[in-house]
Amino acid sequence: MVKSEMIFMVEEDVEGGYSASALGCSIFTEAETIVELKNNIKKALECHFDKKEDIPGVIILHIVREETLAYA
């Protein structure tokens, strides 16, 4: 059975750029920009799945961003 969607956890790297990992699946990639990351995710999906029809039709990017707030 083909999954209809897949979720990627996207995080900003401390040294710059972004990394993405699929939830429940061993797919990882990284890039300097979000646009490049989206393209890399598509390429990673094509490498991971044997058949194109097995690739989920909806890819959800859950973007996690850490910020520090100083309360003084």
**Residue 56, pLDDT above cutoff 90:** yes
For residue 15, list its beta bridge partners.
Answer: none
Burial label for 71, CB within 10 Å (0-12, 13-18, 19+), is exposed
Query: Has residue 27 got a pLDDT over 80?
Result: yes
Asked if pLDDT for residue 54 goes beyond 90, the answer is: yes
Do residues 64 and 10 touch, judged by C-beta distance below 8 A? yes
User: At 10, which amino acid appears?
Assistant: V
pTM of the predicted protein model:
0.86
Q: What is the pLDDT of residues 1-26, one digit of tens each?
A: 567 999 999 999 888 999 999 999 99
Taking only Cα atoms into account, the Rg of the chain, rounded to an integer number of angstroms, comes to 14
